[in-house]
Amino acid sequence: MPPLTDDAPALPLDAQGILELAARSMFYLFSSVSQGMFLVDLSGRIVWVNEGYQRFLPDLGFSSLDQFLGRMVEEVIPNTGMRRVLETGNPVLIDLLTNKAGTFVVSRIPLRDDGGSVIGAIGIVLFDHPETTLQPLISKFALLQRDLDDARRELASQRRRSLVAAAAGDGERRSKYTFASFIGSSPAAAEVKRQARRAAQSTSPVLLLGETGTGKELLAHAIHAASSRAGGPFVSVNIAAVPDTLLEAEFFGVAPGAYTGASAKGRDGKFKLADGGTLFLDEIGDMPQSLQAKLLRALQEGEIEPLGSNKLVPFNVRILAATSRDLAAQVREGRFREDLFYRLHVLPVRVPPLRARRSDIPALVESLGDDLALRNGTPPPEVLSDAMALLAGQPWRGNIRELRNVIEQAVMRSEGQSIDAAQLERILREAGVEPAAPVQDTSAVVVAEAEDESRYLRPLAEQVAELERRAIAAAMKAHGGNKLATARQLGISRATLYGRLENPE
């Protein structure tokens, strides 16, 4: 340590002086390391902006500092929390702020006079682009936000359902979607709805196959609602969400006093709760092997054995199952029982990914926007044509759930009602996705959809029947419903055409 000399700079000796020095040093430190700072007075008016902050002004919609200074903070910085700091005098040391200029990590600190009264506040942008500087934290935040949104939606729809059920004097286990809720008129969407409608008429098990977020659960509800069991309960179990050790009790129930700690009254399992209705087994590919054997036995015998009882109880339940895994591959790898697979695979319904039905994107976007508007009590967003083209071009790995998330974020960030492509590109990049090229004309995409090869991975007879149906429908349309002309064009007899029209299978 260098020796102190008389002319070495000295600390002030009084407490006030030290405090002032510390405050000044902190201020200069923040001013130089942060991305930007500004001050508001007690009324919330912007009174000072440092040089760093000025580069955010164009993204906030200002071309000069003069336009920004003197305005109320919430008028010029959407979603700011400065007002609350002024009102409560409590600092916010770290927060995430999202608005049209992007997402930022910010601090808000009240300024007090000598008597301790709040006289203004200082806003500090600690980091911009936190998605790169704070990547792990932001990913976790995005995940939590998604879960929270899902939970909120679920809660809201549960509330709606119980209100409807209460009004009808009914139980709560009802389906919440019908086929009308499944938005889409692309060939792939029409085909999956046709298959699902047909499944609703049958009593056999249905296996819904498709990537995550494609609408398998929605279709399970719709199948139940259109089936002869619609008056009965619709009960679902998400197998991936229940710990393996609890699944058996969840499925089959627990007999009264079955084990120490078990309730004296016992507990009904989902099979019992679904009696007379439909049991939806979501994420069936995640079922542990030991339970696969028990489920198979129950399905074969039509009876279940509640935990801790040695009595078999008959059940009357229709099974729908879904998975986003490749169940056939799991069978080949010995991870899923082949006999259970065939028992469930009676009526497979393949739910197409969104990228195989891009022409449905405009309708989906409109419906998701209406949904949001209803929830937030705002007018529906207007998705500009460049934004729609960008949405139509994305591969949507998370399918409709991911699409909804992007729309929600765009709505949250935009000040007006419209959503443009630049905004969406920013949101996609922040989520770690490099935006794919836009697709201007979604009607051209219908042709590309037909080329999606996964469509061909199903029984040939089914595909031939589908092609026949489409050819007949197109020719009938072209000839204004004239059957003779249709039959001629297709090179079939009129009797054959009548036969096909009456019995399209």
Ligand X SMILES: Nc1ncnc2c1ncn2[C@@H]1O[C@H](COP(=O)(O)OP(=O)(O)OP(=O)(O)O)[C@@H](O)[C@H]1O
Count of alpha carbons within 13 angstroms of residue 27, beta-carbon side: 12
The identity of residue 421, as a single letter, is A
Q: Does 52 bind ligand X (CB under 6 A)?
A: no
Work out how close the CB of 309 gets to ligand X at its nearest, in angstroms, rounded to a whole number.
32
Residue 447: how many other CB atoms lie within 10 Å: 9
Strands in 33-163 per DSSP E: 36-41, 46-49, 92-99, 102-112, 118-128
Cα–Cα distance, 429 to 232 (Å, whole number): 46
Among the listed residues 83, 173, 401, 458, the single contact to ligand X using CB under 6 A: 401
Interface with ligand X: number of residues (CB under 6 A): 18
Distance set, CA 442 to CA 190, 391, 453 (Å): 16, 10, 19
CB 251 within 8 A of CB 315: no
Q: Which is nearer to ligand X, 92 or 364 (CB)?
A: 364
Strands in 299-338 per DSSP E: 303-304, 313-314, 318-323
Q: Which is nearer to ligand X, 31 or 212 (CB)?
A: 212
Map the footprint of ligand X across residues 283-322, applying CB under 6 A: 322
Q: Which is nearer to ligand X, 34 or 399 (CB)?
A: 399
Work out how close the CB of 459 gets to ligand X at its nearest, in angstroms, rounded to a whole number.
22
Q: Does 400 bind ligand X (CB under 6 A)?
A: yes
Q: Which is nearer to ligand X, 217 or 430 (CB)?
A: 217
Q: Which is nearer to ligand X, 21 or 156 (CB)?
A: 156
Bridge-based pairing state of the strands 418-419 and 278-282: unpaired
Map the footprint of ligand X across residues 358-397, applying CB under 6 A: 364, 367
Q: Does 183 bind ligand X (CB under 6 A)?
A: yes
Among the listed residues 120, 123, 213, 253, the single contact to ligand X using CB under 6 A: 213
Length of the chain: 505
The identity of residue 202, as a single letter, is S
Q: Which is nearer to ligand X, 317 or 322 (CB)?
A: 322
Cα–Cα distance, 79 to 38 (Å, whole number): 16
- Stretch near ligand X under the rule CB under 6 A, chosen from 11-19, 30-38, 208-216, 456-464: 208-216
Longest dimension (CA), the chain: 115
Sheet with 46-49, edge to edge strand ranges: 46-49, 36-41, 118-128, 102-112, 92-99
- Please tell me whether residue 125 adopts helix, strand or coil conformation: strand
Of the candidates 64, 80, 166, the residue with the CA atom closest to the CA atom of residue 124:
80
Identify the H or E element spanning 259.
none
Map the footprint of ligand X across residues 70-89, applying CB under 6 A: none
Contacts for 166-171: CB closer than 8 Å, 24+ residues apart: 171/233
CB 40 within 8 A of CB 84: no
Residue with tokens 């916010």: 92
Cα–Cα distance, 88 to 107 (Å, whole number): 15
Work out how close the CB of 206 gets to ligand X at its nearest, in angstroms, rounded to a whole number.
13
Q: Does 44 bind ligand X (CB under 6 A)?
A: no
Among the listed residues 44, 52, 110, 215, the single contact to ligand X using CB under 6 A: 215
- Stretch near ligand X under the rule CB under 6 A, chosen from 8-16, 37-45, 210-218, 422-430: 210-218
Complete DSSP assignment for 407-472 = HHHHHHH-SSSEE-HHHHHHHHHHTT-PPPPP-S-HHHHHHHHHT-GGGGSS-HHHHHHHHHHHHH
Work out how close the CB of 25 gets to ligand X at its nearest, in angstroms, rounded to a whole number.
52
Mark residues 320-339: x for contact with ligand X by CB under 6 A, - for none.
Answer: --x-x---------------
Q: Does 406 bind ligand X (CB under 6 A)?
A: no
Among the listed residues 182, 234, 252, 336, the single contact to ligand X using CB under 6 A: 182
The torsion angles phi and psi of 307, rounded to 5 degrees, stand at -60, 130
Among the listed residues 57, 101, 199, 218, the single contact to ligand X using CB under 6 A: 218
Q: Which is nearer to ligand X, 250 or 408 (CB)?
A: 408
Q: Does 107 bind ligand X (CB under 6 A)?
A: no
Q: Does 187 bind ligand X (CB under 6 A)?
A: no
Read off the DSSP letter of residue 267: B
Q: Which is nearer to ligand X, 175 or 214 (CB)?
A: 214
Q: Does 438 bind ligand X (CB under 6 A)?
A: no
- Stretch near ligand X under the rule CB under 6 A, chosen from 55-63, 205-213, 454-462, 489-497: 205-213
Work out how close the CB of 348 gets to ligand X at its nearest, in angstroms, rounded to a whole number.
14
Among the listed residues 217, 248, 250, 466, the single contact to ligand X using CB under 6 A: 217
Shortest Cβ contact with ligand X: which residue? Answer: 215
Q: Does 214 bind ligand X (CB under 6 A)?
A: yes
Q: Does 146 bind ligand X (CB under 6 A)?
A: no
* Binding stretches for ligand X (CB under 6 A): 182-184, 210, 212-218, 282, 322, 324, 364, 367, 400-401
